[in-house]
Structure 1
Amino acid sequence: MALQLKHSTSIFLLFFTVSLSFHLSFALNQEGLYLLRVKDSLSDPAGTLSNWSDRDATPCHWTGIACDSRNSVVSVILSGASLSGPFPIFLCRLPSLSTLSLSNNSINSSLPLSISSCRSLTSLDLSENLFVGTLPHTLADIPFLRHINFEANNFSGDIPESYGNFRQLETLRITENLLNGTVPAALGRIKTLKSLELAYNPFSPGRLPLELGNLTNLEILWLSDCNLVGPIPDTFVGLSRLWNFDVSANRLTGSIPSVIFQLKSLIQIELYKNLFTGKLPVGWSNLTELKRFDAAMNGLTGTIPDELCELPLESLNLYENQLDGLIPESIAKSPNLYELRLFGNQLSGSLPSELGKNSALQTLDVSHNNLSGEMPEHLCQRGVLEELVLIYNSFSGNIPESLGKCQSLMRIRMRGNQLSGEVPADFWGLPHVYLLDLDSNAFSGNISHKIFGAKNLSTLSISKNKLSGSIPNETGSLKNLIELSAHDNYIGGEIPSSLVHLGQLAKLDLSNNRLSGEIPRGIRHLKQLNELNLANNRLSGQIPDEIGSMPVLNYLDLSKNSFSGNIPLSLQNLKLNMLNLSNNQLSGEVPSLFAKGVYRDSFLGNPGLCGYVAGLCNPKGENRNRVFLWILSSIFAIAGIVFLVGVVWFIWKYKNVKKMNIGVTMTKWTSFHKLGFSEFEISDCLKEANVIGKGASGKVYKVVLSNGEIVAVKKLWERSDKNENGFSSMDSEKDEFEIEVETLGKVRHKNIVRLWCCCNTGSSKLLVYEYMPNGSLGDLLHINKSKLLNWPTRFKIVLDAAEGLSYLHHDCVPSIVHRDVKSNNILLDEDFGAKISDFGVAKIVKTVNRGVESMSVIAGSCGYIAPEYAYTLRVNEKSDIYSFGVVILELVTGRTPTDPDFGEKDLAMWVYTTLDQKGIDNVVDPSLNSGFKEHICRVLDIGLLCTSSLPINRPSMRRVVKMLQALANNMPNVAEKDVKIFPSLYNVYDQESMA
């Protein structure tokens, strides 16, 4: 029995030993246990860490983990994993960890001092997170650390002095944070440093440390927008390996030191938006690798050195300085030059004769100089020239025939020169040109019939020349034409009847020509026309009655012609800001609205109208009772003064009575495009039943006028007298109201919503807009009507909105930054044409001390605000471009900018993360036709480019328009039912928001 028991015990022990060995062979090692602690400390909504399990022996096959040959963890890379929570300090328990990347997540704590326990780290990437607090001074205790990337976080305070003690550091990138100390001199002790990038931090004003000149291994120095002052130190001569030197957008002063041009490795120099003065120094011949030199918007004087132009430059920007002298001929020899911007200087002489011959020139802007001579023949020899801007110089001679073959041209401005001869026939019909400005020259000859090819033309300005012949009938085929200005020429013949088909035309000025015949029938079809000037021609016949039905006309000048017959009574419907019918052969009665002395000058020189307007003619005996009339007038004047004093006293005594419900008093009514209705007609319709939307600034009403037209009226909220800071709340309301009025009152573009008129009585502020039947893009896209927006329609909206923003940024003088670009501020007309609206927080950008204006508050909407704008408060077009990129992402994904499914992310971050982890099919709106997938991906790429975290990487709006126009020509040919534009949603959208 004992023997049997002993045998049984032996078997049990053997089984236990085998089982224990089997279990131990599959137990997770210690590093895996540390990583599980990391997993437990983080929120992982995307399930990135789902395969981190204690069922494995080692973590070497887990997501983001890499091991060496001994199964020791050497790398943890969890970029774009949607992780959030505090910094997982347990990672520092991994003894061999050399690479750690948690970029593009939502880690939202400070970085602990114990980070120094990660002793084996060589690369640390925590960029694009939500880190706060100060930078840990202990970081420099990590002995082998070579690369640090803290870009796009919320670190604040100083850069610790201890960072000068790094032993092997090569890259230090802390761009786009909240650092508010100064650039420390201690960084000059890091002899191994190759890249120092501290751009876009709100540093306190400080100088460039002399000690940075000791960084003999430095290759990249990026200190844009760091509030730097003073000169560039001479010690920088020691930066012998530097190839990228960017200190733009600061307040650096003095001259550009010649030591910079002793740095033979320089490829890119960015000095724009500073306060430099003096001449460009000598020594350019040393910069044998230089590709980009940008010293725009400084105070540079002197001449352009010939040595500079002999370099292999790709881009040369020296605009808005005080440079004089000649443009060296040698600049035309650069084989890589694609961009030359020298505008706003005092340059003289001619353009280099071979400019464009040896390089693929895309942009030439030499406006506002003293240049003369003929235009070079070879500007478009490589066939890629897009912008040609020569305004306000003294160029002479003809337009080269070769430019008529330049199909790539998009923007042409030659105003204010002495150019002459006939414009080449092909030049009139360039297919991609949207702006053709030949104003104020001496061009002769006819407007070519080939103008029909200019399908993209929106502005044609050819005034103040010597053009003759007639206006081609083909001009009426330019459906995108908004402005046609051809005054002060010798143009004859009749006005083509085809012009009445220009549905977008807002301005038609053909005054001071030799036109004959009658005004074409059907002119009422010009629904967008607000200025009609046909003065000083040889026109005859009757003034068409249909002019009175033109809905937005507010400027009408038909003077100095031979019009006859009666004045149409319908003109009374227009209530024009400017009316001039003088010096014609009109007769009959003057309409009662105009039979007043204030309109006397509008009818002078029409003998048949005498007797209908006081003072229009001078009949005999007019002065007989002058003394009696003067006495009588004086009596009435005194009585009027007494009456007014009494009224003022009454109002002052009972000022609170005016707040009773007696309707809106329209005492300050200003029109910009239209007043074809009574102001009281508007006030009568401001009822709750007509409310179609509410926004942050007020209610929006739909008003149907008695003539059948529809307008949208925004009534700003009435506010209390004082806010919590003791300031009048009306101040902010006044600011918003006046900004929108001043901005929209001057802007005319087919993709900018039109402001008809406004009313400001102090207590009541109204803005009257054109009515957009399909409401806002945001509402249409996100309220279960997105199926009405197929991909061609969405793309059309993107392109329209881009062209509107490009106009604000590049063609308004000064430029306008919208500051609240979002889908709800993009309105859609009956054909789904998009127009930018709501300019209540727009900013007219003016350079102040050659810098960028700062705002006192953040403007914009959640999910659309550019990351740098949230803390720098700098007004810049790049903020609009980021917001526009978010709109593109909305149209591609069908999602809102802030969605609960995103967690703490916004739409831009969600798209980046999802693309990286799951691919394109999980990003694109599933309701879109898959036949457009490739085209959608191309547009998505543009959206991602616009939402780059670094403002410098975002393209300009003009560039965005060019990229979209290129895609417009490559739209897939899918079945007609899939690409049609839906009809107006007037009926289904009647009660939806337009705010």
Structure 2
Amino acid sequence: MKHNHSPLHSLLLVFTSLLVVTSNLPLQAECLNQEGLYLLRAKQDLSDPSSLSDWNPRHDFPCNWTGVTCNDNSVVTEVSLDSLSLDGPFPAILCRLSSLSSLSLSDNFINSTLSDAIISRCVHLTYLDLSENLLEGPLPPALASLPKLVYLSLSGNSFSGEIPASFGSFPAIETLILSANLLTGTIPKELGDLRTVKMLQLAYNPFSPSRLAPELGNISSLESIWVSGNNLFGDIPDSFNRLSQLTDLDVSSNKLTGPIPSWIFQLTNLIQIELFNNSFTGELIPGWSNLTALRRFDGSMNKFTGTIPDELTQLPLESLSLYQNQLEGLLPESIAMSPNLYELRIFDNRLTGSLPSQLGKNSPLKTIDVTGNFFSGRIPESICEKGVLDELILLDNMFSGSIPESIGQCRSLSRVRFGNNRFSGEVPVSLWGLPHVYLLDLHQNSFSGNISHIISGASNLSTLMIAKNRFSGGIPSEIGSVGNLIEFSANDNRFSGSVPEGLFSLRKLWRLDLNNNEISGEISVRIRGLKELNELNLANNRLSGKIPDEIGELPVLNYLDLSGNSLSGKIPDGLQNLKLNKLNLSNNQLTGDIPSMYAKEVYKDSFMGNPGLCGDDDLLGLCPKHRRHKNPGNSWVLVFIFVIAGVVLVVGFVWFLLKYRKFKKIKHKTLVVKWRSFHKLSFSELDIVDCLKEDNVIGIGASGKVYKAMLGNGEVVAVKKLWERSVRDDSYSSVDSMKDEFESEVETLGRIRHKNIVRLWCCCNAGKNKLLVYEYMPNGSLGDVLHSTKGGMLDWPTRLKIALDAAEGLSYLHHDCDPPIVHRDVKSNNILLDEDFGARIADFGVAKFIKVINKGAESMSVIAGSCGYIAPEYAYTLRVNEKSDTYSFGVVILELVTGKPAIDQQLGEKDLATWVCSTVDQKGVDHVIDPNLDCHYKEQICKVLDIGIACISPLPINRPSMRRVVKMLQEAATDPKPKATKEDAQLSLYYYEDVSDQTSLV
């Protein structure tokens, strides 16, 4: 029915609208103009927008408000609110600003859908940036009808579905950015109808496998196209030869094939060509001289053959990357003449000869990586002549001669890797003390001489690898000044003297390997200071004296090898506090009984070659025969001594018992009043305190000791006693860290209930005594079971059940808690197993509530997590959300599928996530699946592997939610798909960009 409105009726409608807008605003808002009222209403729709505190009715001139720009007539034309942690729906009311032409809300937490009704109001916009938010749902087709829109960026959201065909009809669009979403279908051919677009970015969307639409070659105005990781196959269409304005062509990380098309040399405006991580073949054909504007060429991770053409290296390139191909021959001398070259990455090819003698003389080189070729000869003297060289990676070649003195003067260096070559001579003294170098790798060469005392100046050094050389002399005490040192590998050299005391002050040291040297003296008791030490190898030296009991105080020690020395005395009982994957004390001069924990057949080889050692009941067969018979000669003397000792013992015990009862009564009274229960308990607090004995310790971690408490009623619980940080770790200036960890765990576990979250029974906070009492998990942690000799207990159905249980626990934290909780330290060691191998998520010491995190960066200023599990976004942002947990859980899935730990020496420098992705891509799934698993489950295993790979996407937006992960795992368990192939696995890798020579997060 058609309505006829009178002017009075229209006026009434306007008045009513104003009432709706202003009804919830303060009275002070009455002095604002209409635009100010709209802005305040937009603020009101956002949750706690503290960053917009000056959007206030008392400030009656909105043109001075944060992010607001006005024209000369004081009319709002731009609103830019990037990176302000704004949370809430899209503020559609801003589109009522009649002159608003630019709206930018990038890098916030805008979390609604965009409907046609909402978008259709924004008819005046020329610039709209909603990138890096939490928007979801389909792309609204009405966007294409905005008549003035020139710039549109929706990247980094969760938009799904297909790109609407209407997107080919933008009337004025010049920049269209839809990358890093969840868009499906294919790239629509209708985009070829765009006539004004200059930049088109569609990268990293899970499109269906398809070819590049030839119609895109019709966009004559196109200057930049980015379609990385879009599941594209086939060749680049010949129609692209019409893109005469193209300056940037990026088709990387797809499955494109064929040779480089010859027509590419007709696009003379090209500045950047990105072809990496495809399956291009053939030689790098002639014609490069036509591309006089080319500054960056990346053809890495393909199957190119032949040589690197002179034509290419004669261009004024800034970056040349051709790593992981099949290139042969020499590196042309002309590359050294390029005046702009700052990056040269040609590792993992078959290149021969020497590096150009003038390399670096004319170029501001920052990065050189030629790892894994057959280069020989010397390092060019001029390689750091411009003084900006940052990374010099020459691993696994045949370089020879000595290191030029100029390298030692190159103070810009941060990463130096010369391992596995034929270098000789002494290392330049100044190289040891370069202040910015964090990785110095000289292993497996023929270097000689000493470690210079100047190493004290290497303030940033974290990894020092000099194994398998001919270094000699003593290890300088100044190495104790390198406070950031994490790994020191100096095995298979000729070092002598004692282990310097300063070495034991390195609080961050994780690996110490001095195996096979000539080191003498005793092991200092100061070794207790190495609280982060995971691996200690002092084998095959000339060490003497006793094994210090203080080694048993190293909370995370996992590997201990002291074999092949002259150590004497008894094996200290303190070693029983350790949870070692490897122990080797063989070929020493140890005596006495082997501690009961190690008097087992599995440890027999750990004690061979110690004639004085004997196990209980000669279980290990190590006792000499003469020790098995007692000498009766002086038995009466022994009887007399035992009688006297017995009397003294009885008297002393009675006195001690009286004193102890008095002390215990006082202590119990103090502790009991500090207990807090979260469930109805069938035991008392006194029962718990009585069980805190060293004999009951079942685990030692970075946060404290864990005891197994067998209670009087037959119930078993686990008790965690947190370390006294101020005593045990000098890196803590106070006990605040322990307090935060304790309170975080109590706050988190005390309020949640779920079958797959470990249950916190009660806790105690009495000064230094901080105790947490959990339900006991008899099968320990997943990490301990999976990566030990017990791994055979976990068949595939059990592993899948564990994955599903753990996923449900995380899903509960993320989606069913209010506010949601981010665990921040998901790893296999924090997944505990009950008697039926049911999984529980544990260890919430660093957990955070998501809404607390989103309010600012302060709570995220310290990286939480464990090596190998930390999501890559920590490298470039402090923003943490539930997708960080998803990444860590993806690594746990990879552990279950491969049977390998997250960080393993067998993986080289790659962590598990990197190794799985590159191996699946290059060799197929059969090379990553744990060979101990039953092949009949391969279909399920491959499907779960795909889920794990999806979870470790480098882009958080591309990782599934944990609710989605649970659903996918349930589908994998009940509805296995047909037998997986390499191509199936590669579909999950559309987003993955491999890089060479990755160093583990350690």
Give the TM-score, by structure 1 length.
Answer: 0.62
Shift of the alpha carbon at 1:445? Answer: 1.3
Distance 1:117 1:563 in 2: 82
Distance 2:869 2:243 in 1: 39
- For residue 733 of structure 1, what is the aligned residue in structure 2? 805
Amino acid at match of 2:361: K
Alpha-carbon spacing, 1:171–1:717, altered in 2? closer, same or farther (3 Å): farther
Query: May I ask how many residue pairs the two structures share in their alignment?
Result: 754
* SS of residue in 2 equivalent to 1:492: strand
Distance 1:874 1:759 in 2: 23
- For residue 424 of structure 2, what is the aligned residue in structure 1? 420
Q: Which deviations, in whole Å up to 9, do the C-alpha atoms of 1:143-179 show, x marking residues without a partner?
A: 7765555555665544454555566554434444554
Amino acid at match of 1:497: E
Choose from 618, 622, 625 the match for 1:616.
622
Q: 1:361-376, aligned counterparts within 5 Å?
A: 361-376=365-380
Q: 1:48-447, aligned counterparts within 5 Å?
A: 76-80=77-81, 99=101, 101=103, 104=106, 108=112, 110-112=114-116, 123=126, 125=128, 127-128=130-131, 147-149=151-153, 151=155, 156-161=160-165, 164=168, 169-447=173-451
Alpha-carbon spacing, 1:523–1:570, altered in 2? closer, same or farther (3 Å): same
Q: Which deviations, in whole Å up to 9, do the C-alpha atoms of 1:208-240 show, x marking residues without a partner?
A: 121222333221112233332221112211111
Distance 2:806 2:121 in 1: 57
Distance 1:416 1:761 in 2: 46
Distance 2:509 2:143 in 1: 64
Shift of the alpha carbon at 1:261? Answer: 2.8
- For residue 909 of structure 1, what is the aligned residue in structure 2? none
Distance 1:52 1:144 in 2: 34
Alpha-carbon spacing, 1:736–1:465, altered in 2? closer, same or farther (3 Å): farther
Choose from 704, 715, 718 the match for 1:686.
718
Q: Which deviations, in whole Å up to 9, do the C-alpha atoms of 1:316-375 show, x marking residues without a partner?
A: 222223333222222222222222222232322222222222222222222222222222
Shift of the alpha carbon at 1:508? Answer: 2.3
Q: Which deviations, in whole Å up to 9, do the C-alpha atoms of 1:806-833 show, x marking residues without a partner?
A: 9885999xxxx9975489x9xxxxxxxx
Amino acid at match of 2:297: F
* SS of residue in 2 equivalent to 1:261: helix
- For residue 485 of structure 1, what is the aligned residue in structure 2? 489
Shift of the alpha carbon at 1:427? Answer: 1.1
Distance 2:563 2:405 in 1: 39
Alpha-carbon spacing, 1:781–1:957, altered in 2? closer, same or farther (3 Å): farther
Alpha-carbon spacing, 1:323–1:474, altered in 2? closer, same or farther (3 Å): same
Alpha-carbon spacing, 1:756–1:493, altered in 2? closer, same or farther (3 Å): farther
Alpha-carbon spacing, 1:710–1:547, altered in 2? closer, same or farther (3 Å): farther
- For residue 833 of structure 1, what is the aligned residue in structure 2? none
Q: 1:813-852, aligned counterparts within 5 Å?
A: 820-821=883-884, 844-845=913-914, 846-847=916-917, 848-849=920-921
- For residue 469 of structure 1, what is the aligned residue in structure 2? 473
- For residue 763 of structure 1, what is the aligned residue in structure 2? 836
User: Is the CA contact 2:777–2:832 (under 8 Å) kept in the aligned structure 1?
Assistant: no
Alpha-carbon spacing, 1:676–1:238, altered in 2? closer, same or farther (3 Å): same
Distance 2:716 2:221 in 1: 74
Shift of the alpha carbon at 1:533? Answer: 2.3
Give the TM-score, by structure 2 length.
Answer: 0.61
User: Is the CA contact 1:818–1:843 (under 8 Å) kept in the aligned structure 2?
Assistant: no
Alpha-carbon spacing, 1:686–1:351, altered in 2? closer, same or farther (3 Å): same
Distance 2:169 2:850 in 1: 57
Distance 2:703 2:142 in 1: 67
> Greater CA deviation, 673-682 or 180-189?
673-682
Shift of the alpha carbon at 1:407? Answer: 1.8
Aligned-residue RMSD, C-alpha: 6.1
Amino acid at match of 2:126: S
- For residue 669 of structure 2, what is the aligned residue in structure 1? none
User: Is the CA contact 1:452–1:474 (under 8 Å) kept in the aligned structure 2?
Assistant: yes
Alpha-carbon spacing, 1:460–1:753, altered in 2? closer, same or farther (3 Å): farther
Alpha-carbon spacing, 1:111–1:591, altered in 2? closer, same or farther (3 Å): closer
* SS of residue in 1 equivalent to 2:278: coil
Amino acid at match of 1:449: H
Distance 1:455 1:271 in 2: 39
* SS of residue in 1 equivalent to 2:432: helix
- For residue 514 of structure 1, what is the aligned residue in structure 2? 518
Shift of the alpha carbon at 1:957? Answer: 15
Distance 1:856 1:497 in 2: 45
User: Is the CA contact 2:228–2:251 (under 8 Å) kept in the aligned structure 1?
Assistant: yes
User: Is the CA contact 2:806–2:841 (under 8 Å) kept in the aligned structure 1?
Assistant: no
Q: Which deviations, in whole Å up to 9, do the C-alpha atoms of 1:418-447 show, x marking residues without a partner?
A: 111111111111222222221111111111
Alpha-carbon spacing, 1:298–1:871, altered in 2? closer, same or farther (3 Å): farther
Shift of the alpha carbon at 1:451? Answer: 1.4
User: Is the CA contact 2:443–2:468 (under 8 Å) kept in the aligned structure 1?
Assistant: yes
Amino acid at match of 2:373: N
Alpha-carbon spacing, 1:228–1:173, altered in 2? closer, same or farther (3 Å): same
Amino acid at match of 1:374: R
Shift of the alpha carbon at 1:297? Answer: 2.6
Amino acid at match of 1:278: G
Distance 1:586 1:420 in 2: 39
Q: Which deviations, in whole Å up to 9, do the C-alpha atoms of 1:862-912 show, x marking residues without a partner?
A: xx994454699999xxxxxxxxxxxxxxxxxxxxxxxxxxxxxxxxxxxxx
User: Is the CA contact 1:340–1:364 (under 8 Å) kept in the aligned structure 2?
Assistant: yes
* SS of residue in 2 equivalent to 1:556: strand
Distance 1:811 1:127 in 2: 22
Identity of aligned residues (%): 44
Shift of the alpha carbon at 1:488? Answer: 0.9
Alpha-carbon spacing, 1:674–1:216, altered in 2? closer, same or farther (3 Å): closer
Distance 1:156 1:574 in 2: 50
Amino acid at match of 1:292: R
Distance 1:136 1:811 in 2: 32
Is 1:563–2:567 an aligned residue pair?
yes
Is 1:698–2:758 an aligned residue pair?
yes
**Runs of 5+ in structure 1 lacking a partner?**
1-31, 623-659, 720-725, 739-750, 826-837, 876-950, 962-995
Alpha-carbon spacing, 1:718–1:592, altered in 2? closer, same or farther (3 Å): closer
Distance 2:306 2:963 in 1: 35
Amino acid at match of 1:275: S
Alpha-carbon spacing, 1:157–1:579, altered in 2? closer, same or farther (3 Å): closer
Alpha-carbon spacing, 1:674–1:390, altered in 2? closer, same or farther (3 Å): farther
Alpha-carbon spacing, 1:172–1:33, altered in 2? closer, same or farther (3 Å): same
Amino acid at match of 1:80: L
Distance 1:712 1:375 in 2: 58
* SS of residue in 2 equivalent to 1:421: strand
User: Is the CA contact 1:854–1:873 (under 8 Å) kept in the aligned structure 2?
Assistant: no
Amino acid at match of 1:198: L
Distance 2:220 2:809 in 1: 55
Distance 1:66 1:79 in 2: 12
Shift of the alpha carbon at 1:449? Answer: 1.5
Amino acid at match of 1:123: T
Alpha-carbon spacing, 1:479–1:240, altered in 2? closer, same or farther (3 Å): same
Distance 2:709 2:247 in 1: 67
Distance 2:40 2:399 in 1: 72
User: Is the CA contact 2:480–2:505 (under 8 Å) kept in the aligned structure 1?
Assistant: yes
Alpha-carbon spacing, 1:674–1:617, altered in 2? closer, same or farther (3 Å): farther
Alpha-carbon spacing, 1:320–1:675, altered in 2? closer, same or farther (3 Å): farther
